[in-house]
Amino acid sequence: MIKAFRNVAISLCAGMLLAGQAQANASNYPNQPIRIVVPYAPGGFNDTIARLVGKKLQDAWGQPTIVDNRPGGGTILGLTNAAKSPADGYTIAVVGFPTVANQFLHKKLTYDTNKDFTPVILGAYSPNLLVVKADSPIKSLKDFVAMAKAKPGKLNYATAGNGTSNHLTMEYFKSVAGIDLTQVPYKGSAPMITDLLGGQVDIMFDNAPHVMPHVKAGKMRALAITSEKRSPLLPDVPTVSELGYPDFMVHVWYGFSAPAATPPDIVTKLNTEINKILKMDDVKKAFADAGVEPLGGSTQQFATYFKSQSDRWGKVIKDANVVAD
C-alpha cells in the first residue's frame, strides 16, 4: 500500500513538473527562431502567406522567422517533416486543400492527418473560377451544362492532376450537374492555362489568383465563381450557386497547423498574434491584390472547418473513385 501510494505521488509530481515546464515554455515563447514549413516551391500563395505572416511575427516578437520550402509528393514531404518536428511551437506548417484530400487519395501516409497536427488558425481562402477561352462557343454555365449533356464525354477539362483542387471541384460539379467530361491532367496551373488559351482544352476550374489576370485581360471568359457571393474584383461573374446549384461553394484555403503535442498556451499565443496580423491594412491589401480573402478566428473554428472539408471532399473522392497519380 505504501509503495503504491509512493508511486502515485511520484507520478503526480512528475505530471506537475511537466505541466510547469510546458507553462514555462509558453511564458518564455518565443526565445529562438520559428520555422514555417511550406510544402510547396516558392512562388504560390502558400509561400506568400508564410512570408507575410512570418515577417510580421518576426517584427512583433523579435525572433527570426525562417520559411522552409519543402515541395514534393503533393505536400506530403513537407507535412511529414513538420509532423515529425519537436512539438515546441518553433515549427508550424502551412496546410490547405491537399491536407484534407491526401488522407483519402493515398492508402497510407507518412503522417496521420488528424492525429499528428493541431490547428492554429485558418488564414485565408479564395474561390475557383470556371473559365473558357475568350472566343469559346461556351458563353455561360447553362451553355456548358447543355453542351456536356448533349455530347457526354466529348468536352474535356484541364486539371493540375488527380486529386488537386481544380480536379475535385470539377468532379463535384459533374456530380451535381449530372454531366460527363474527359479530364486532361497537367503538372500545375501554368501548362493548364497555356493549353486552354491555345484551344487544346475546352474548360477548367482554377484558383482565382491564377486566372483572374487573364479574365481581366480579355483572354478568358469566366462563366462562374465558386464563392458564396460575387467577388468585388469580378462583379459581373455570377456564383455557381446563384445559377441553379445551391450550396455549391468551393474554396482553396490556407491555414497554419503545429505538431500535435504543441502546448495549448503556445498555440493560443500563435493564434492571437496571427489574428492581429490578418487585420493589418498592408496584409489585407496584399491578400486582396492576390484575390484572396483573409480570415482568422479561433483554433476551434479552424478545427470545425477542417472537419467539414474532410467530410465533403472525402465523399467526392470516394464517389468519383479518385486516386492519387
Q: What is the pLDDT of residues 234-280, one digit of tens each?
A: 899 999 999 999 989 999 999 999 999 999 999 999 999 999 999 99
Answer yes or no: is 269 within a domain: yes
**Cα–Cα distance between 188 and 252 in angstroms, integer?**
15
Residue 111 domain flag: yes
Q: Please list, in sequence order, all residues whose beta carbon lies within 8 angstroms of the beta carbon of residue 11, skipping any fewer than 6 positions away.
A: none
Tell me if 26 is assigned to some domain. Answer: no
291 occurs within a structural domain: yes
In a domain, 232, yes or no: yes
Do residues 118 and 263 both lie within one domain? yes
Structural contact between residues 211 and 223, judged by C-beta atoms closer than 8 angstroms: no
22 falls within a domain:
no
In a domain, 325, yes or no: no
Clarify whether residues 192 and 226 are in a common domain: yes
Please, what is the average pLDDT of the chain?
91
Same domain membership, residue 102 and residue 92: yes
Torsion region of 43: left, alpha or beta (phi above 0 gives left; psi -120 to 50 gives alpha): left
Task: Kindly state the cell numbers that stand for 15.
Answer: 505530471
- Which residue, 243, 267, 286, sits at the end of a domain? 243
Same domain assignment for residues 205 and 102: no
Q: Is the same domain home to 210 and 194?
A: yes
Domain total in the chain = 2
Cα angle, residue 41 at apex, residues 39 and 47 outer, rounded to 5°: 75
- Residues 257, 120 share a domain: yes
Both 99 and 235 in one domain: the answer is no
136: pLDDT strictly greater than 70: yes
- Indicate the pTM of the whole model: 0.85
Of 243, 267, 300, which closes a domain? Answer: 243
Confidence check: pLDDT of 1 > 70: no
Asked whether the beta carbons of 185 and 210 are under 8 A apart, the reply is no
201 and 116 in a single domain? The answer is no
- Above 60 in pLDDT, residue 211? yes
Burial level of 31, CB count in 10 A (0-12/13-18/19+)?
Answer: exposed
111 and 148, same structural domain? no
User: Which domain range does residue 292 map to?
Assistant: 33-125+253-320
Do 232 and 148 share a structural domain?
A: yes
Asked if 165 and 310 sit in the same domain, the reply is no
Last residue of a domain, one of 243, 278, 294: 243
Average pLDDT of the residues in 225-238: 92
Looking at residue 238, what DSSP letter applies?
Answer: P
Residues 231 and 284 in one domain: no
